[in-house]
């Protein structure tokens, strides 16, 4: 069945040739592979594909400081030795090298996320995908963790022009510190990050106790996890927390950062998620039927990144992808199995049940402090949303989910649907 | 008991609820606290003269200090009825080096004498009075002197507060230096204002300490006390209904249903304060060996001191409203935002204040219980009706000022939460000092690490705050602002002209790879190459212009078409000759040897041809030892055979990855 959602997918052929330097784990070439895989599965037939505009420096300066943007604009590999002070100041160098076309690369991925947000705002699509984006570590005035420009913050700021509240969800193995920091003091954005925490794991923030401050108090949620978390515990935790969050916060739009370094076998990550588990989170978020901006993020085993994001593109298009990867230019990268499935991780799962439930209770308790959506709520027509009413103790989530999916399909058939009222149908669902 | 506050001076019960209102008012002019001052005029006629001169100072002091740590009733009296001159006491202690010095040197007896007290052995009562009345001032002053920046502890109360506090400091210093006498008198003023509040809370708290009751029992006790008041005085029936958890119809009738968060703020304020007061009282009872009164006594004092007249009128009014809510004589309530500008003369205002007075006790003491209830509330956030009492709490929660924060943490602490809440508790400014311990004990979250300073209760945040870190989030106006429609991306797919697409026979969407083909040797290199080429042609045909826009022409092994065999050989040779041990950069060499190629070309060749071919070899030769992504390593190369983590070329024209992974591990 064809998806009712209108999907906009952003890709610029230029990102594939960006190179951070030898041995740098971040390989934009993975975007090329992802796109290739998406196309080889013929997914492009079901969506619109856009080439993003290159974000202007002034657009980047909506969040970043003008001096930082300007410096990124000017610096080149050949001139960098003249600016050692600035390089240090902006944290450029080791993790965040200066490479050729650095600024153009930033413009492309940031432009993609901004365009995606704008298309959502103008109701030109229901879901927008920019796998090139999701660089969640970048700070206002400095680069961090392979991230130069924080396209997520820019995208969220764009969404905030049309929505009173935006929910940001981050399933990268690393803490989404840049986004959290940008919105730590506001209740207009709730950030929820699931990440590895402890053992000096980068970036070192993301304790469950970091919950936001001032107006933003209780509007930052951190779910710190330990090594080796597997599909079942991760998705269960994810679903219960996210459904509660959406129920409580009632966001107008959701931004989902799908960092693929939380997959098993990642070069830098340490989780045991399979692609199915990772994609299950995407599927779950999609079910809320809210304007959804999906970005990439980390992911340092590039064929797995390509696999994962192709599968998730399929999920967003309601298309199940067969396991055998179709012929394409890069098929060799997917050998020797040439399949979508990735080997199971064998990192020991250090997340005990009691640990996870402690974290969950902590998060829930903080959420309870909100109860009401914030003051801005009152000024907006309450958006309709779809709460899957997830209750792990009651029933098998999968079964329940199927039922819901079914209901949705039934409704969908006879439903005439206009862009302006894309959520109306849910009135009956709730 | 040893000189515990005089209750005779109290204003009406409503005063206790009123004083915090006044403190919340930003403009000093609105401070006209007729009621409270009236009650005091008799004893402190002098105050009248001084009041206006120093009103601003008082207001600030009240806001910043007293509000958080309410002052006791004045004048302080010792057990034997002697009045203690606070100013004198303060100056004497100051002269002797401050509280700690006096305590350490056991000078309290002489302090008592020098303060003009007659009988001997008054060390402990005087010390108590000092602790209760003046210690906070002393410590505050000390901090002001020691650390000009101490107001950062207050920074969460907004920039204005800080500025205000700084002014206060200056003012206070000046006052201390020049007119100490006046200052002391002034200082007494807020004491007086708060006296009534203290009385009430103390009364309840004493029963707490006395009976050693659990929190709930203690609540009951207070209720009982209040009920007794009602029975005896027949004045507070409406409130009685409230206390018993009956939804108060009168209240509903007389209140605008759109009571908003501002009203809530006041409640919170009260709550925080009253908690401090109560806990303080409890602590005092325990520590100072104060003779504890029996409950009957408490009740006696509790209601015996109220001003009955004011309540009579209010009660009549409430009754009238209850009988006939639509009576035009009742009039309508103004907007809640204007409530605080009304004086106590308004009947509805009195009712509100009375309700607060009741609620602030109830909510503090039974917050754990209420917390449970609120959890069950559906997040039906548009509901703003006045309901039962926990609904009120619900509303409080949406308040968005710093008081909110305090209230939260308090409630959180009551629910016996874990360390995170403890952290919050620490953030309550001014709740510290001598009360820390008591609070922690009572809330079951004892934490010895709580500093005893009053002003540094706000731990530095790990998340930096400020214009160099935060995103500028505009206020939500309710109206979507325009975004530039020009930059929405350029559509590449589907193509504008679609005729050609119909010619192409397409595989079904999402179809996977077919395992069967007609090739002679299935799975051979030739077979794979053929199918890839076939697919490529088809994709090219289908995508049309998009094929080039997506740079598909520069993807895959096609890239090598533009390379001569010699160049390829050279590239490979350079790469293979650069194992990690040599610490050389193959890119440097490659650039040297391939001046005609741009770095983009080289990178493209590297990913599209070299790595792909290498991976192809790996797939065939060492399928169990695929080095999934360490592209730069020589592992899996036919020449190297094995090997892993062979990080080559750590220095390059681009950057020197000394330890490319460490930051992520």
Residues B48-78 pLDDT 10s:
444 344 444 444 454 455 444 444 555 666 7
Q: Provide the pLDDT for residue B324.
A: 76
Please give the residue of chain A at the shortest CA–CA distance from B469. A140
Q: Which two tokens stand for residue B236?
A: 């507070």
Please give the residue of chain A at the shortest CA–CA distance from B580. A23
Cβ-defined contact of B261 to A329 (cutoff 8 Å):
no
- Among A24, A327, A362, pick the best mutation site for testing chain B contact (most B Cβ within 10 A): A327
Q: Provide the pLDDT for residue B531.
A: 78
Q: How many CB pairs under 8 A join A and B?
A: 360
**Cβ contacts (< 8 Å) between A370 and chain B: which residues?**
397
d(CA B381, CA B395): 9
Task: Find the largest Cα–Cα distance for chain B.
Answer: 118
User: Which of helix, strand or coil describes residue B302?
Assistant: helix
More confident residue, B590 or A331: A331
d(CA A111, CA A105): 10
d(CA B57, CA B602): 74
Q: Which two tokens stand for residue B312?
A: 């009579």
Please give the residue of chain B at the shortest CA–CA distance from A114. B488
Residue in B650, B649, B562 with CA at minimum distance from that of residue B602? B562
Q: A215 CA to chain B: closest CA distance, Å?
A: 6
Q: Provide the pLDDT for residue B174.
A: 58
Cβ-defined contact of B420 to A369 (cutoff 8 Å):
no
| Whether the Cβ atoms of residue A364 and residue A218 lie closer than 8 Å to each other | no
| Whether the Cβ atoms of residue A264 and residue A295 lie closer than 8 Å to each other | no
Residues A350-399 pLDDT 10s:
999 999 999 999 999 999 988 654 544 444 443 434 334 444 444 444 44
* B 151-170 → A contacts, CB under 8 A: 156
Residues 6 or more apart in contact with residue A217 via CB below 8 angstroms: A211, A369, B404, B405, B408
**Cβ contacts (< 8 Å) between B493 and chain A: which residues?**
44, 47-49
Q: Is the pLDDT score of A410 beyond 50?
A: no
Give catalytic residue positions of A: 137
DSSP B518: -
| Whether the Cβ atoms of residue A160 and residue B447 lie closer than 8 Å to each other | no
Counting beta carbons within 10 angstroms of the beta carbon of residue B583, is it exposed (0 to 12), middle (13 to 18) or buried (19 or more)? exposed
- Among B412, B415, B479, B513, pick the best mutation site for testing chain A contact (most A Cβ within 10 A): B513
Q: B18 CA to chain A: closest CA distance, Å?
A: 27
**Cβ contacts (< 8 Å) between B419 and chain A: which residues?**
209
Q: Is the pLDDT score of A197 beyond 70?
A: yes
Cβ-defined contact of B629 to A300 (cutoff 8 Å):
yes
pLDDT, mean of residues A243-264: 94
d(CA B423, CA B426): 5
Least confident piece of the model among A203-212, B386-395, B481-490, B588-597? B386-395
Q: Which two tokens stand for residue B213?
A: 């009751």
The CA distances from residue A415 to A418, A419, A426, B464, in Å, are 10, 12, 11, 49
Q: B538 CA to chain A: closest CA distance, Å?
A: 11
**Cβ contacts (< 8 Å) between A214 and chain B: which residues?**
156, 402, 405, 465
Residues B260-304 pLDDT 10s:
334 334 444 444 444 444 444 333 333 333 333 344 444 444 443
Of B475, B511, B628, the CB nearest to A301: B628
User: Which of helix, strand or coil describes residue B2?
Assistant: coil
Burial code (b: 16+ CB inside 10 Å, e: under 16) for B132-170 equals bbbbbbbbbbbbbeeeeebbebbbbbeeebbebbeebbe
Q: Which two tokens stand for residue B296?
A: 């009957």
Q: Provide the pLDDT for residue B498.
A: 53
Cβ-defined contact of B615 to A335 (cutoff 8 Å):
yes
Q: Is the pLDDT score of A156 beyond 90?
A: yes
Tokens 């002269």 -> residue: B95
| Whether the Cβ atoms of residue A224 and residue A206 lie closer than 8 Å to each other | yes
Cβ-defined contact of A329 to B532 (cutoff 8 Å):
yes
- Among B476, B557, B605, pick the best mutation site for testing chain A contact (most A Cβ within 10 A): B476
Q: Which two tokens stand for residue B307?
A: 């001003």
Please give the residue of chain B at the shortest CA–CA distance from A45. B509
**Cβ contacts (< 8 Å) between A47 and chain B: which residues?**
493
Q: B90 CA to chain A: closest CA distance, Å?
A: 37
Cβ-defined contact of A368 to B461 (cutoff 8 Å):
no
pLDDT, mean of residues B521-539: 75
Please give the residue of chain B at the shortest CA–CA distance from A97. B655
B479 interfacial to chain A (CB closer than 8 Å):
no
* B 383-442 → A contacts, CB under 8 A: 394, 397-398, 400, 402, 404-405, 408, 412, 415, 417-421, 423
Residue in A243, A189, A181, A186 with CA at minimum distance from that of residue A206? A181
B585 interfacial to chain A (CB closer than 8 Å):
yes
Distance of CA B147 to the CA centre of its chain: 25
Q: B63 CA to chain A: closest CA distance, Å?
A: 20
User: Which of helix, strand or coil describes residue B493?
Assistant: strand
**Cβ contacts (< 8 Å) between B618 and chain A: which residues?**
335-336
**Cβ contacts (< 8 Å) between A115 and chain B: which residues?**
487-489
Report the interhelical angle of B389-397 vs B261-287 (nearest 10°): 110
| Whether the Cβ atoms of residue A416 and residue B514 lie closer than 8 Å to each other | no
- Among B258, B472, B655, pick the best mutation site for testing chain A contact (most A Cβ within 10 A): B655
Cβ-defined contact of B476 to A164 (cutoff 8 Å):
yes
DSSP B663: G
**Cβ contacts (< 8 Å) between B401 and chain A: which residues?**
none
Confidence of residue B648 (pLDDT cuts 50, 70, 90): very low
Q: Provide the pLDDT for residue A349.
A: 93
DSSP B628: -
Residue in A148, A220, A147, A218 with CA at minimum distance from that of residue A182? A220
**Cβ contacts (< 8 Å) between B156 and chain A: which residues?**
213-214
First and final CA of chain B: distance in angstroms? 64
DSSP B562-599: GS-HHHHHHHHHHHHT--GGGT--HHHHHHHH-TTS-H
| Whether the Cβ atoms of residue A299 and residue A259 lie closer than 8 Å to each other | yes
Which residues, in sequence order, are bridge partners of residue B493? A49
Task: Find the largest Cα–Cα distance for chain A.
Answer: 65
Cβ-defined contact of B463 to A181 (cutoff 8 Å):
yes
Please give the residue of chain A at the shortest CA–CA distance from B623. A336
Residues B537-550 pLDDT 10s:
777 777 777 788 78
Q: Provide the pLDDT for residue A23.
A: 79
Q: Which two tokens stand for residue A409?
A: 């399909």
ipTM confidence score: 0.72
Cβ-defined contact of A182 to B408 (cutoff 8 Å):
no
Q: Is the pLDDT score of A98 beyond 50?
A: yes
Examine residue B75 and say whether the peptide bond preceding it is cis (omega within 30 degrees of 0): yes
Please give the residue of chain A at the shortest CA–CA distance from B423. A209
d(CA B270, CA B338): 19
Which residues, in sequence order, are bridge partners of residue A273? A263
DSSP B77: B
- CB atoms under 10 Å from CB of B30, counted, come to 15
Residues 6 or more apart in contact with residue B26 via CB below 8 angstroms: none
Q: Which two tokens stand for residue A323?
A: 């396991």
Q: How long a stretch of residues is chain B?
A: 665
Residues B109-163 pLDDT 10s:
888 777 777 776 777 777 877 776 677 677 777 776 665 444 444 334 334 444 4
The CA distances from residue B177 to B140, B164, B173, in Å, are 16, 20, 6
| Whether the Cβ atoms of residue B444 and residue B173 lie closer than 8 Å to each other | no
pLDDT, mean of residues A277-284: 96
d(CA A112, CA A151): 8
* B 326-385 → A contacts, CB under 8 A: 374-375, 377, 379, 381-382
B648 interfacial to chain A (CB closer than 8 Å):
yes
Cβ-defined contact of A180 to B463 (cutoff 8 Å):
yes
Residues A287-317 pLDDT 10s:
999 999 999 999 999 899 999 999 999 999 9
d(CA B649, CA B646): 10
User: Which of helix, strand or coil describes residue B606?
Assistant: helix
d(CA A217, CA A212): 4
User: Which of helix, strand or coil describes residue B127?
Assistant: helix
3-state secondary structure chain A: CCCCCCEEEECCHHHHHCCCCCCCCCCCHHHHHHHHHHHHCCHHHHCEEEECCCCCHHHHCCCCCHHHHHHHHHCCCCCHHHHHHHHHHCCCCCCCCCCCCHHHHHHHHHHHHHHHHHHHHCCCCCEEEECCCCCCCCCCCCCECCECCCHHHHHHHHHCCCCCCEEEEECCCCCCHHHHHHCCCCCCEEEEEEEECCCCCCCCCCCCCCCCCHHHCCCEEEEEECCCCCHHHHHHHHHHHHHHHHHHHCCCEEEEECCHHHECCCCCCCCCECHHHHHHHHHHHHCCCCCEEEECCCCCCHHHHHHHHHHHHHHHCCCCCCCECCCCCCHHHHCCCCECCCCCCCCCCCCCHHHHHHHHHHHHHHHHCCCCCCHHHHHCCCCCCCCCCCCCCCCCHHHHHHHHHHHHHHHHHCCCCCHHHCCCCHHHHC
Residues 6 or more apart in contact with residue A210 via CB below 8 angstroms: A180, A220, A222, B462, B463
Residues B416-473 pLDDT 10s:
333 333 334 333 343 333 444 444 444 433 333 333 333 333 344 567 777 778 888 8
Least confident piece of the model among B140-154, B173-187, B211-225, B238-252? B238-252
Q: B144 CA to chain A: closest CA distance, Å?
A: 25
**Cβ contacts (< 8 Å) between A188 and chain B: which residues?**
473, 476
Residues 6 or more apart in contact with residue B604 via CB below 8 angstroms: A16, A17, B554, B559
Cβ-defined contact of B470 to A209 (cutoff 8 Å):
no
pLDDT, mean of residues B181-202: 41
């Amino acid at each position: 069945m064809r998806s009712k959602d209108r999907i906009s997918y952003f890709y610029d052929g230029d990102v594939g040739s960006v190179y951070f330097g030898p041995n740098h784990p971040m390989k934009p070439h993975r975007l090329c592979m992802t796109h290739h895989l998406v196309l080889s599965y013929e997914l492009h037939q079901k969506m619109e594909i856009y080439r993003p505009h290159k974000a202007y420096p002034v657009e980047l300066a909506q969040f970043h400081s003008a001096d930082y943007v300007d410096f990124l604009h000017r610096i080149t590999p050949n001139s960098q030795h003249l600016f050692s002070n600035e390089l240090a100041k902006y944290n450029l160098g080791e993790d965040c090298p200066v490479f050729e076309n650095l600024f153009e690369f930033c413009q492309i991925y940031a432009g993609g996320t901004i365009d995606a947000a704008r298309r959502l705002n103008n109701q030109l699509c229901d879901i927008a995908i920019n796998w090139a984006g999701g660089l969640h570590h970048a700070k206002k005035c400095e680069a961090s963790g392979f991230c130069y420009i924080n396209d997520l913050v820019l995208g969220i700021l764009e969404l905030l022009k049309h929505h009173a509240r935006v929910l940001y969800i981050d399933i990268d193995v690393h803490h989404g510190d840049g986004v959290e920091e940008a919105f730590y003091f506001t209740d207009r954005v709730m950030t929820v990050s699931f990440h590895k925490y402890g053992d000096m794991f980068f970036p070192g923030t993301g304790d469950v106790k970091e919950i936001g401050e001032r107006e933003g108090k209780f509007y930052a949620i951190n779910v710190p996890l330990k090594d080796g978390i597997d599909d079942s515990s991760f998705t269960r935790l994810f679903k219960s927390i996210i459904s509660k969050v959406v129920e409580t916060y009632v966001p107008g739009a959701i931004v989902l950062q799908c960092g693929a370094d939380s997959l098993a076998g990642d070069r830098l990550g340490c989780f045991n998620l399979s692609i199915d588990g990772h994609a299950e989170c995407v599927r779950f978020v999609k079910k809320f039927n809210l304007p959804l901006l999906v970005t990439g993020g980390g992911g340092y085993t590039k064929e797995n990144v390509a696999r994962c994001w192709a599968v998730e593109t399929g999920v967003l298009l309601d298309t199940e992808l067969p396991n055998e990867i179709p012929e394409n230019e890069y098929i060799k990268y997917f050998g020797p199995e040439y399949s979508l499935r990735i080997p199971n991780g064998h990192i020991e799962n250090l997340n005990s049940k009691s640990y996870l439930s402690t974290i969950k209770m902590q998060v829930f308790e903080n959420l309870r402090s909100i109860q009401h959506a914030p003051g801005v709520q009152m000024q907006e027509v309450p958006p309709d949303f779809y709460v899957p009413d997830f209750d792990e103790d009651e029933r098998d989530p999968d079964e329940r989910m199927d039922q819901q999916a079914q209901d949705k399909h039934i409704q969908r058939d006879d439903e005439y649907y206009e862009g302006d009222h894309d959520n109306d149908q849910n009135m009956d669902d709730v | 008991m040893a000189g515990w506050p005089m209750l005779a001076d109290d204003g009406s019960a409503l005063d206790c609820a009123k004083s915090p209102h006044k403190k919340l008012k930003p403009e000093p002019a609105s401070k006209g606290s007729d009621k409270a001052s009236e009650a005091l005029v008799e004893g402190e006629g002098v105050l009248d003269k001084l009041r206006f001169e120093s009103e601003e100072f008082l207001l600030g002091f009240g806001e910043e200090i007293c509000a958080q740590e309410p002052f006791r009733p004045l004048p302080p009296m010792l057990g034997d009825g002697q009045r203690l001159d606070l100013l004198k006491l303060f100056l004497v202690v100051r002269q002797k080096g401050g509280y700690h010095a006096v305590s350490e040197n056991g000078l309290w007896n002489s302090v008592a004498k020098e303060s003009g007290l007659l009988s001997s052995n008054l060390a402990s009562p005087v010390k108590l009075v000092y602790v209760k009345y003046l210690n906070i001032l002393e410590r505050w002053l000390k901090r002001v002197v020691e650390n000009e920046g101490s107001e950062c502890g207050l920074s969460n109360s907004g920039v204005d507060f800080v500025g205000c506090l700084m002014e206060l400091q200056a003012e206070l210093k000046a006052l201390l230096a020049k007119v100490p006498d006046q200052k002391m008198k002034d200082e007494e003023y807020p004491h007086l204002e708060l006296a009534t509040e203290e009385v009430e809370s103390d009364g309840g708290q004493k029963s707490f300490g006395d009976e050693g009751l659990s929190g709930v029992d203690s609540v009951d006790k207070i209720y009982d006390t209040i009920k007794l008041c009602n029975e005896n005085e027949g004045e507070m029936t409406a409130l009685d209904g409230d206390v018993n958890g009956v939804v108060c119809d009168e209240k509903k009738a007389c209140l605008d249903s759109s009571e908003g968060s501002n009203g809530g703020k006041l409640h919170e304020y009260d709550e925080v304060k009253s908690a401090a007061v109560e806990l303080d009282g409890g602590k005092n009872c325990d520590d100072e060996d104060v003779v504890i009164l029996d409950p009957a006594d408490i009740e006696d004092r509790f209601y015996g001191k109220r001003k009955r007249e004011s309540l009579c009128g209010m009660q009549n009014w409430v009754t009238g409203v209850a009988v006939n809510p639509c009576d035009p004589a009742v009039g309508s309530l103004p907007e809640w935002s204007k409530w605080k500008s009304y004086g106590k003369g308004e009947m509805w205002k009195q009712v509100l204040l009375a309700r607060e007075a009741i609620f602030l006790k109830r909510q503090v003491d039974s917050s754990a219980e209420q917390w449970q209830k609120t959890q069950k509330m559906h997040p039906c956030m548009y509901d703003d009706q006045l309901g039962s009492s926990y609904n009120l709490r619900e509303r409080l929660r949406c308040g968005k000022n710093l008081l909110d924060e305090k209230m939260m943490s308090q409630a959180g602490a009551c629910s016996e939460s874990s360390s995170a809440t403890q952290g919050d508790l620490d953030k309550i400014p001014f709740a510290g000092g001598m009360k820390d311990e008591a609070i922690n004990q009572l809330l079951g979250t004892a934490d010895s690490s709580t500093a005893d300073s009053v002003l540094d209760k706000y731990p530095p945040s790990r998340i930096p705050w400020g214009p160099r870190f935060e995103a500028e989030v505009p206020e939500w106006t309710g109206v979507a602002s325009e975004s530039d429609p020009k930059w929405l991306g350029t559509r590449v797919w589907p193509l504008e002209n679609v005729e050609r697409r119909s010619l192409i026979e397409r595989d079904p969407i999402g179809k996977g790879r077919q395992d069967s083909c007609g090739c002679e040797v299935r799975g051979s290199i030739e077979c794979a190459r053929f199918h890839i080429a076939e697919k490529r042609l088809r994709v090219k045909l289908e995508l049309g212009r998009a094929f080039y826009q997506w740079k598909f022409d520069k993807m895959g092994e096609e890239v090598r078409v533009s390379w001569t065999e010699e160049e390829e050989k050279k590239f490979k040779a350079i790469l293979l000759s650069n194992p990690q041990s040599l610490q050389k950069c193959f890119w440097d060499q490659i650039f040297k040897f391939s001046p005609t190629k741009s770095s983009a070309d080289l990178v493209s060749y590297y990913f599209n041809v070299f790595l792909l071919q290498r991976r192809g070899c790996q797939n065939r030769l060492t399928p169990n030892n695929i080095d999934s992504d360490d592209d730069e390593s020589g592992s899996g190369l036919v020449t190297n055979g094995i090997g892993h983590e062979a990080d080559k070329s750590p220095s390059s024209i681009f950057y020197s990855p000394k330890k490319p992974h460490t930051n992520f591990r």
